[in-house]
Amino acid sequence: MALSCGIVGSAKAGKTTIFNALTASSAEVGGFTGASSDPNIGQAQVPDPRLADLGRVFKSKKITPTTLQFVDVAGLVRGSSRGGGLGNQFLAHIREVDAVVHVVRCFDDPNVPHEEGSVDPVRDAETVNLELALADLSAVERRMERTIKLARSGDAPARKLMEVLERLKAVLEEGRFAAQAEVRPEEAPLLSDLFLLTVKPVIYVANVDEAGLDPGHPHASALEALAAREGRACLRICGKVEAEMALLPEADRQEFMAAYGLSESGLSKLIHAAFSSLDLMTFLTAGEKETRAWTIARGTRAPQAAGKIHSDLERGFIRLEVYSYEDWVACSRDEKKVKERGLYRSEGRDYVMREGDVCLFRFNV
């Protein structure tokens, strides 16, 4: 199953605009679609200039970037944790994702009235966060009801679970996140089937208009301050500008970004932030047939990385021949020089993969 990020937020925050731009959707961008019970699902390519660099030198016929799945879920309103609005659908969809991209409205537009009557990013973000915490609290309380009799009868596993649930409940009742509760690593498996929402990594997106790209913009600055207090990442993205840019040919995008004083698109920053929040990394393969990026979890060993390419490579793994992309660049992009300088390595089954490894797997089946 592909790792996915759920795009959440209040109604009319611009979630679908961001989603369409991320996935280069052919659907109309720049507008607001309103509430929908079915999530839109799309793939976003993870920008990686190393691929074009390797592909050019190796004269690759095909270049394949790695991707992330994004899910645009129903807008959340007050009472969603109790089934209000499309709350039940929202909660079901967000439980299925691995990380959360929380889009918060940080722009004024009289043509798109805010449901609360005013734009207040901190209020909107806290509304969503509270509904998620309340949904988690409800799940914890239901589990406690099913566990308490066993715990009182002396059942040791049930008593251990109740101790953890009580800690979670105390944190959630304060409107804080389950991730802030004291849960030891050995206790985490006890909670896996609760599918808690507030343990997922979160990235805030301040969806601004063009004026909001100014560092001193009050709406975006207020959200950034909230994110800092919570220890979460926060990116400013002008959804309308990014949506327009996503429809341009690659050759025109650099000129477009230069016009707005951008060195990198906001969406590129968001994709990389999401990739990092999921604790993912990339290794590379290069050759005349194809240059490709592969996604693995940090800490993956060489045979399991080989298995991402094909199960036969993992089953018959012999060794990994590898060098880093940075070393290759430092050696004038010449593999022969990499070998001459002793930077071309042979690694065995216990090798832990590193970001930017350029790999050739040796195997025998």
Q: Which residues 6+ apart lie within 8 Å of 46 measured at CB?
A: 65, 66, 67, 68, 271, 272, 275, 282, 293, 295
**Mean pLDDT, range 292-316, rounded to an integer:** 97
Place 329 in a pLDDT band, splitting at 50, 70 and 90: very high
pLDDT at 283 over 80: yes
Q: pLDDT (tens digit, 9 = 90+) per residue, 130-141? A: 888 988 999 999
**Mean pLDDT, range 20-25, rounded to an integer:** 79
DSSP string, 205-223: EEE--GGGGSTT-HHHHHH
* CA atoms of 13 and 106, how far apart (whole Å): 8
Per-residue pLDDT, 28: 35
pTM: 0.85
Bridge-based pairing of strands 40-45 and 233-237 is unpaired
Residue whose entry in the numeric block shows the structure tokens 């301040």: 206
Per-residue pLDDT, 257: 85
Beta bridge partners, 359, equal 322
Place 78 in a pLDDT band, splitting at 50, 70 and 90: low
Bridge-based pairing of strands 40-45 and 202-207 is unpaired
Q: Which residues of 36-50 are buried (b: 16+ CB within 10 A; e: fewer)?
A: eeebbebebbbebeb
pLDDT at 253 over 90: no
**Token representation of residue 71:** 């899910």
Structural domains for the chain: 4-49+65-115+200-277 (3.40.50.300), 130-194 (1.10.150.300), 299-363 (3.10.20.30)
* CA atoms of 41 and 258, how far apart (whole Å): 31
* CA atoms of 102 and 123, how far apart (whole Å): 13
Whole-number Cα distances in Å, 272 to 5, 278, 279: 12, 10, 11
Per-residue pLDDT, 90: 66
Q: pLDDT (tens digit, 9 = 90+) per residue, 142-166? A: 999 999 999 999 899 999 999 999 9
Per-residue pLDDT, 260: 77
